[in-house]
């Protein structure tokens, strides 16, 4: 049984979609279930996903000609890896435009701390329960979140000196 | 130029010229290296190109002890206050070299994070564009800086992006890849 099938069996009602492409397994799940699924992946002995490889986000604002619904504007993407079984699993969590918030994974994988700060900084997605959710790349006085698709690419916010 | 007499063991000079002469051959540089241009800076400084021939072979990692600020690499808005502080900590007389096109105009980093030319925050004496500039370019810039030091000139003005005053005309347009390709084709 692959990790994907294990999760399908355990969390059938929280899944939105799953797919597999050449052995790359992806789960799309509801944000409320993220914490439970992540805990299951990490703490089940034969799965043992002990490594959070990557945590990032996507803004689908203008995707498909802007026809993406507001409930699916953002997607947080997690890549898990098990050093013991050599399995990989990708989890995507769609988030709504008006309330982009999801549970933090810092208590399960401490390495999620800076990833989540980066996603907050660049996309403005909040992580509930994060111990220190503040900007990591931009400076504190910076307004907005630059990797959102509605952030004008030519807007300048200089810390000192005249605007460019 | 000073008049030297080997027979009479004296020479005449103006004090300012003597000072300029002394200063241009004892440049203590502060390398403010943030990005990939640093590699080119290192190869310029190392034995093959040997920047010590121009009296500039002695990097000081304290702004208090340096005369020339070499800004080497992209400066982000988060880094800008640090650069300004380092510049303010340097003692007079001081000069600034913008090394690489990112420091000159922002280069191709036309985005939310990058300062579009360090001359918007500190006065720049010599611009060395290039991505990165070859060591020959850097040495050319260094010799132009020496001429400037000899004359006792220092840049005091900032570039204002609204009026577009304060930057050499060749740089004011920013970097254009299509023009660059035309220049290369013309030179072949």
Minimal Cα distance from A139: which residue of B? Answer: B78
Specify if B51 maps to a domain: yes
Any bridge partners for residue A29, and if so which? A15
Specify if B8 maps to a domain: no
**A124 vs B: CB within 8 A:** no
Confidence of residue B70 (pLDDT cuts 50, 70, 90): very high
Q: What is the pLDDT of residues B47-57, one digit of tens each?
A: 899 888 888 88
Q: Cβ separation of B115 and A153 shorter than 8 Å? A: no
Please count the helices (runs of H) and the strands (runs of E) in chain B.
7, 7
pLDDT at B10: 67
**B162 vs A: CB within 8 A:** yes
Using CB atoms, which residue from A139, A151, A153 is nearest to B77? A139
Residues of B in contact with A156 (CB under 8 A): 112, 116
**A146 vs B: CB within 8 A:** yes
Report the CATH number at residue B30.
Answer: 3.40.50.12280
Contacts of A26 (CB under 8 A, 6+ apart): A18, A19, A20, A89, A90, A91, A92
**B151 vs A: CB within 8 A:** no
Q: What is the pLDDT of residues B10-61, one digit of tens each?
A: 666 788 888 889 899 999 999 999 989 999 999 998 889 988 888 888 888 8
Interface test with A, best of B74, B76, B77, B171 (most A CBs within 10 A): B77
Q: What is the pLDDT of residues B92-147, one digit of tens each?
A: 889 999 999 889 888 888 888 888 889 889 999 999 988 889 999 899 999 999 99
Using CB atoms, which residue from A139, A162, A163 is nearest to B78? A139
- The architecture of the domain spanning A3-110 is 2-Layer Sandwich (3.30)
Locate the domains of chain A by residue range: 3-110
- What's the domain range around B32? 14-187
Query: Which two tokens mark A92?
Result: 């995507």
pLDDT at B78 over 90: no
Instruction: Determine the average pLDDT of the residues in B79-97.
Output: 91
Distances (CA, A) of B72 to B40, B83, B89, B96, B99: 9, 11, 18, 11, 5
Using CB atoms, which residue from B80, B111, B162 is nearest to A158? B80
Domains identified in chain B, total number: 1
Using CB atoms, which residue from B84, B116, B161 is nearest to A160? B84
Specify if B4 maps to a domain: no
- pTM (predicted TM-score): 0.79
Specify if B9 maps to a domain: no
């Amino acid at each position: 049984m692959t990790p994907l099938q294990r999760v399908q069996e355990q969390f059938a009602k929280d899944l939105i979609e799953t797919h597999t492409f050449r052995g790359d397994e992806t789960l799309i799940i509801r944000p409320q279930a993220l914490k439970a699924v992540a805990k299951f992946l990490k703490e089940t002995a034969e799965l043992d996903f002990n490594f959070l490889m990557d945590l990032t986000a996507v803004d689908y604002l203008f995707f498909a000609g802007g026809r993406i619904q507001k409930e699916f504007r953002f997607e947080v993407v997690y890549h898990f890896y098990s050093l013991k079984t050599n399995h990989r699993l990708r989890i995507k969590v769609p988030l709504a435009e008006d309330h982009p918030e999801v549970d933090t994974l810092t208590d399960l994988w401490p390495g999620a701390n800076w990833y989540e700060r980066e996603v907050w900084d660049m996309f403005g997605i909040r992580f509930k329960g994060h111990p220190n959710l503040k900007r990591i790349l931009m400076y504190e006085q910076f307004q907005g979140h630059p990797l959102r698709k509605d952030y004008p690419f030519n807007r300048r916010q200089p810390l000192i000196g005249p605007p460019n | 130029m000073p008049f030297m007499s080997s027979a009479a063991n004296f020479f005449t000079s103006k004090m300012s010229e003597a000072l300029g002469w002394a200063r241009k051959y004892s440049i203590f540089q502060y390398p403010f290296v943030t990005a990939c241009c640093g590699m080119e800076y290192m190869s310029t400084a190392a034995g093959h190109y040997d920047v010590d021939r121009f009296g500039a072979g002695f990097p000081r990692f304290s702004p208090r002890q340096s005369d020339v600020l070499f800004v080497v690499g992209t400066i982000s808005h988060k880094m800008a206050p640090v650069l300004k502080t380092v510049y303010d900590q340097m003692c007079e007389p001081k000069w600034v070299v913008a090394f690489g096109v990112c420091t000159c105009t922002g280069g191709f980093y036309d985005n939310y994070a990058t300062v579009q030319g360090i001359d918007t925050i500190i006065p720049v004496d010599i611009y060395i564009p290039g991505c990165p500039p070859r060591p020959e370019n850097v040495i050319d810039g260094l010799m132009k800086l020496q001429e400037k030091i000899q004359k006792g000139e220092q840049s005091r003005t900032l570039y204002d992006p609204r009026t577009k005053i304060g930057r050499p005309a060749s740089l004011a347009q920013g970097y254009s890849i299509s023009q660059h390709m035309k220049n290369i084709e013309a030179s072949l």
